[in-house]
Amino acid sequence: MKKNHWLFFLLWLPSLAIAGPSAAKTDQTAPFAAPAPISYVLSMPQPQTHYFEIEMRVSAPTALTDQAGNGYIDIKMPVWTPGSYLIREYAKNVEGFRAQAGDRMVRSEKIRKNTWRVYTKEESLVIQYRVYAYELTVRTSFLDQSHGYLNGASLFMYVDPLRNQPHRLTVQPFKDWKKISTALPAVAGQANTYEASDYDVLVDSPMEIGNHEVLTFTAAGVPHTVAMYGEKIYNSTRLAEDMKRVCETAATVIGEHPCKEYTFIVHQTPTGGGGLEHQNSTTLQVTRDAFITARAYQNFLSLVAHEYFHLWNVKRIRPKALGPFDYENENYTHLLWVAEGITSFYQNYILRRAGFTTADEYLRNFAYEISGIENLPGTQVQSVAEASWDAWIKYYRPNENSVNSTVSYYSKGSVLGGLLNLSILQSTGGRNNLDDVLRLLYDTYYKKLKRGFTDEEFQQAVEKVAGRKMDDFFQKYVFGTEKIDYNGFLNPVGLRMVDASAGKQDPYLGAITKLTEGKLIVSAVRRDSPAWNEGINVNDEILAVGGLRAGADLEKQLATYKPGDSVEFTVNRGGYIKNLTVKLTGNPLAAFRIEPVSSPTPEQRALYARWLYLKTT
Ligand SMILES: [Zn+2]
């Protein structure tokens, strides 16, 4: 998953743009001849109302008996969607639940926020309900006059004892909508009907319905489809070629492509931002500038690389807690820094290896990511293992103090992935790198043992590939918050890190502000900064600085002072005017740059070339 988040402004992560309609067709035939125990018919007769209508047929002997001797079946709605670690309460959009057996209505009642109990001993039931779908994100469903998008977990109810059985879906598209794009295999001879081998596969297969453009290409021997929803402002040929190159390079990491076919759904939206991974597909959201400016296009390809790489890392190479899923509760793991952080590392590494970025650009990104995490006070407070565990209540529920209390498992995980890669290269003389760790995990846990791995098993895989113990690394940097010795990792490839801002005498306040309706409002106060120490508060409106009316650009106003100056700030705090005297300090924020050591040895040069996939002369 990738999402728009306040941290994106503080830590480097690509911003995205663009979208257009598209559909993907599958010519794969579902292997299941017998009728599925659960089948759904999804219709959308009035898309302007944003309601999907769902008829769910349950045909299997699943009824249980309660204490009063009544037979019942519980019908449930997921509360979250895999890949996005927040309880979203999808049942909040459900209306009109009713149950029928034969031609009789059957009594039902809601017994939990997401559970309907249907009282019946019948083996065959028809459930009807409708779902309001008007939030176009990668983790929700959406319907309007222009298209429909399905995220299965937000639409399809399930019956626990039947989750592992085949589920069938028939779609009745609105009027003249001609295209359906999904990774689900189609049922031969039945229009717009798809079959999933189990419920997990059903909800792990998003679907785009409408009249979108469909691009196709083959990468690593696998047919790929791209459904493009939105304005047609991209060059289809170039887009397909570039995406193909990203996919082919990503496939070299593990060296085996496990998909029969793969589907991209790309939504162009006004705000854009983010993607969600699935086993054989992904949904990406971008703003229109992704197809207009070179920088935004590179960020788009970076998003493609990220979500695509997830088909291996997290959908198959996965922490134990992430599958099979509990759809009713939080699923806890310390390893989101591996699932998301190492995927973020690979999105950059893949673009370098595919030649979309230069070695210098890779180094600039790496240094920028490092500056981002090192400049966040939260880096000293929360480890990436804790950040992973608490994603449900912290990363996905940020507040004004997040800058001081949390670290992003994406950003720090990406940096740690980069450091592990360097460490393995160094300890094996360039023979192995992080690819070998992922390949080992893929072969051992996905293919052989068919399960996820534990914290310990991840570390063991790293140690096996590196050929040495790595306790220090994991204790200090993964489960701890110790300061990282970057030069220790960079020196073997002939590089060192320097702080370009060292020695500068910029004045520093430590209050982050935003302009709201013409008012300069404090949105965060950085821990241990002058603003923090002197009690400037979040939500204070800064009225004046040193007796002068505060302008829109506080930085510019502060630039007239120097470190050590005491400055009077006049603030409006809930209607009361207050004056606070703050002694400014020098700016402690680093601007790291990675540069060559003065005279690199031939060994350092060779390892550098191996690291960044450069041709040696
Ligand atoms: Zn991700």
| Amino acid at the residue 349 | Y
CATH of 507-586, one of 3.10.20.30, 3.20.20.60, 2.30.42.10, 3.60.21.10: 2.30.42.10
> Which fold, 2-210?
Immunoglobulin-like (2.60.40)
**What is the C-alpha separation between 584 and 531, in angstroms, rounded?**
8
Residue spans of the chain under pLDDT 50: 5-33
Distance, CA 247 to ligand 1 centroid (Å)? 16
Phi-psi region of 273 (alpha: psi -120 to 50; beta: other; left: phi over 0): left
Superfamily designation of domain 212-311? Neutral Protease Domain 2 (1.10.390.10)
Q: What is the pLDDT of residue 362?
A: 98
Residue 278, C-beta contacts closer than 8 angstroms, at least 6 positions apart: 83, 183, 204, 205, 206, 315
Q: Tens digit of pLDDT for each residue in 338-385?
A: 999 999 999 999 999 999 999 999 999 999 999 999 999 999 999 999
Share the mean pLDDT of the chain.
93
Q: What is the pTM of this model?
A: 0.93
| The token pair that represents 409 in the structure block | 């498992």
Domain 315-494+600-617 has CATH 1.10.390.10: yes
Distance, CA 310 to ligand 1 centroid (Å)? 7
**Span between the terminal Cα atoms of the chain, in Å:** 39
* 502 half-sphere exposure, CB direction, 13 A CA radius: 7
Distance, CA 347 to ligand 1 centroid (Å)? 10
Q: How far is CA 480 from CA 82, 380, 475, 477, in A?
A: 27, 9, 6, 5
Q: What is the pLDDT of residue 343?
A: 98
Residue 59, C-beta contacts closer than 8 angstroms, at least 6 positions apart: 35, 37, 38, 39, 123, 124, 125
Residue 518, C-beta contacts closer than 8 angstroms, at least 6 positions apart: none
Which residue ranges make up each domain of the chain?
2-210, 212-311, 315-494+600-617, 507-586
Q: What is the pLDDT of residue 617?
A: 58
Distance, CA 293 to ligand 1 centroid (Å)? 24
Distance, CA 154 to ligand 1 centroid (Å)? 19
Task: Give me Rg for the CA atoms of the chain.
Answer: 27
Q: What is the pLDDT of residue 4?
A: 52
2-210 shares its CATH topology with 212-311: no
Distance, CA 446 to ligand 1 centroid (Å)? 19
Q: Tens digit of pLDDT for each residue in 42-55?
A: 999 999 999 999 99
Start-end of H helices in 493-580 = 530-534, 554-558
Q: What is the pLDDT of residue 3?
A: 61
| Amino acid at the residue 220 | A
Distance, CA 19 to ligand 1 centroid (Å)? 19
Distance, CA 43 to ligand 1 centroid (Å)? 31
Distance, CA 274 to ligand 1 centroid (Å)? 9
3-class secondary-structure state, position 257: coil
